[in-house]
Structures are given as structure tokens and as C-alpha cells.
Amino acid sequence: MIFFIPPIQKKSINSSFKINKMMALKGKKILLAISGGIAAYKMNYLVRDFIKNGADVKVILTPSAENFVSKVTLSTLSKNPVFSDFYDENRTWNSHVEFGLWADVLVIAPCTANTLSKMIHGICDNLVIATYLSAKCPVFIAPAMDLDMYAHPSTHENLEKAEKFGHHIIPAEFGELASGLVGQGRLAENETILQKIEDFFAASHPKTLDGKTVLITAGPTYEAIDPVRFIGNHSSGKMGFSIAEEAEKRGAKVILISGPTSQKLNNQNIKIHKVTSAKEMYDEVFRHYKNADIAIMSAAVADYTPKFVAKEKIKKSEAEFTIELVKNPDILKTMGEKKSHQFLVGFALETQNEEENAKGKLEKKNLDMIVLNSLKDEGAGFQKDTNKIKILTKTEQKEFSLKSKEDVAKDILNFVEEKFNKS
């Protein structure tokens, strides 16, 4: 039996409640999957509402949904391309796996009886279903169909199975349907869908780091050779930025010190200090270190810098060219020496004798914890959206599977919190 759930009335939503929730979507990655029902036109407004509340939105469609909504409109509103097939017009592959890894939540709305059935039984014949089957994020389903279709035992059974899968169901509401009938089957109002997702995000991040200051470094450093050339390490900064955003979600005051990177923050509450060289990063770190409770040093700092920096561009003349290098100050080692109350976390990217080298760094630099990456692990390393890590302390180690860097950030902070609270 499908139970009637009355729609939420606008006047019943307390304005202060809405204000408290309005920041819950800020910086969240919402993947909206639209299937081919008449209610699909309402998704233009839902996308707009998501964007207004600070979310980053991507949209995918079932082939039949294109009969009801315009890709151009949805792309304009979401500020992202919209896809309905595995290949675009240029025969470029649209990876369902990447969509699933990118999203914080997958929202399927409207979800037709056909799409619902395919989801439950694993009938993978379009981009939406392939994305759904590979997604690891929470799934919200907002069904919409005619009265008797919604009341049919097969629909009821599929919704029950979806709940057993751990999905969140936003029930259809009572009202006038496209057929002219009146009853339950109408897509939940956009306001209701929006509120359900806001509530989810608001509840999913308990403020476990409330009152704590977390200092994070990210990205590479560039060491100038002349006004146009530099040496440095490969680093996109993605890992450090992901840790910073996750720490802020947990209530921490976050100080992010970043070398040159194209990464953008989705959270305006995070204070970012941009630097270029290792010396600049050193100076900036120690401006804030004494006030930090937790310091997570994920930056790829150059170990050496040119002894002399040319004031003008060095002209190409000789077949060989020699640059004399001198050691940069060791930021992490100095932090270990000056550590008083701080919980200090370092990173180690290794290509050989990984654990041995990481343990050596942990000991020599007086760290509380070190995060080990190996370039030998497929999907880990530079410029990737995924990472595979092993965490080591002086008494234990824990290995994690390949995950998105957002999920890796959660694993790191979960481990930090566990150890920090015991110290």
C-alpha cells in the first residue's frame, strides 16, 4: 500500500529554520538525473534553486527526458554541460564512473516507473542507470507517475527495495495529474526536494572539530630560476583543498596555505593564504602554527632552490647549462621541533621502500601521523581526482582503498580526530 503524505505547505516552514539550513548546500556537488516524465520541466527551477543555495550542479538525462526538457536551458542554469548519452556530439566519452565519483549526492527526479524498475533490477541501458549503478554517494529518488501506476504493487515493491538499498525516497504528493486524474503520484514540490537534501547535509556533518583551528598546506612551491622559469614539484593541490573543505564542514577554523594551483575553494569560510616559494610558505606557516590545534602538511614543497636567481631571462646559448641549488628550509622538520600542543600530520609520496621511508620521516620529523602515497598505485598520484593512502603512526598503520579525494579527506580527518581526542 502506498500511503498518502501531504505536501509541505510554504506557510508551515519556519523562516528561521530555512535560514539555518540555507548554507547546507553551499559547495555541495549535486548530480541531478532526469527521466522522461511530464514533471521533468520542473527541474529547470530545481536546478536554479540548487545554484541559488550555493551548490555545484551537473545534470544527466535519460534519452526520453529530452522530449520534455532542453539541454540548452539546463546547461545555462547549471553552468555545466548536460549529457544524455555515453558519447557527445564529438564522440567524446562521457564517463558514468566520473559522474558518480564527482557527486556528493545523486538526485533522480522525476523518477518514472520505467527508470525505477531499471534501477532496482540493474537493467543498464542508458547513461543515467550506468551512473546510478556505479555511484557511491547517497541517492535521493523522487518518483512521479500517474495515479494507478504509483499505486501498482510493482511500484510499491520497487520503492521498498530502493529503501532497503539505503536510498532516500521523497514520496510523490497528492494533486492533479497530467492525465486529469486527482490523487497521489505528483512529483514532490521543488521546495520539498530542496528541504530534504538540505536536511541531509545539515545532519551529515556533526561539528566534531568545533572550536579547533586546523592549519593545512596544499599545492606545489615554485622556485625561480629567472623571471620566466622555475623548478618545483608536481602537485595539483586537490588533496589539500579537499581536506580544508571537509575540516570546515566539521566546524573547524581552517587556515589554508597554498602554493600555485588552479584549485578553487567552494567554501568562503576558509581563509586562504597564497604563496609561491618554499621560503614564503615557511614564513606563512609559522605565522599561524602557534595557534593551530591540528596541522596537516599536504603541500609538495621543493627541497631545493636556485642559489642565484637571474634578474633577466636567461638566453639559450650553451649546449649545457648548470644551476647551483641550495637546500630550502625544512618546514615540516621545524614544525616537529617547535611542536608544543599541536597534532602534526605529514605526507610522504614514495616510489620505492614506501613504508620504510615513511616511517623514517615520521620519526625524524617528530610527526604524530603520516599519510603515505605511492606512485605505483593506479589512480593515485599527481593530477588525479582519486587517491589511495596508507596512514602510519608510531604504533599502528591502516590502509585504505582507492577513493575520491573528497572521501580520502574524510578518512584522514576521521583518523586525526580519533588520535587527537585521545592525546
Active centre residues (catalytic): 233
DSSP 182-229: EEEEEPPPHHHHHHHHHHHHHHH---TTTT-EEEEEESB-EEESSSS-
Q: If we measure between CA atoms, which residue out of 367, 375, 331 comes closest to residue 346?
A: 367
Q: If we measure between CA atoms, which residue out of 236, 265, 250 comes closest to residue 384?
A: 236
Residue 247 CB contacts under 8 Å (≥ 6 apart), including other chains: 209, 214, 216, 254, 413
Can you read off the three cell numbers belonging to residue 25? Answer: 548546500
Q: How many CB atoms lie within 10 A of CB 27?
A: 20
CB of 302 within 8 A of CB of 328?
A: yes
CB of 134 within 8 A of CB of 97?
A: yes
Give Cα separations from 368 to 385, 396, 423 (angstroms): 26, 11, 10
Provide the pairing of β-strand 369-374 with 389-392.
antiparallel
Count the alpha carbons within 13 Å of 86 in the hemisphere toward its beta carbon. Answer: 8
Helix (H), strand (E) at residue 410? helix 405-422
The helix/strand/coil state of 337 is: helix
Can you read off the three cell numbers belonging to residue 239? Answer: 588533496
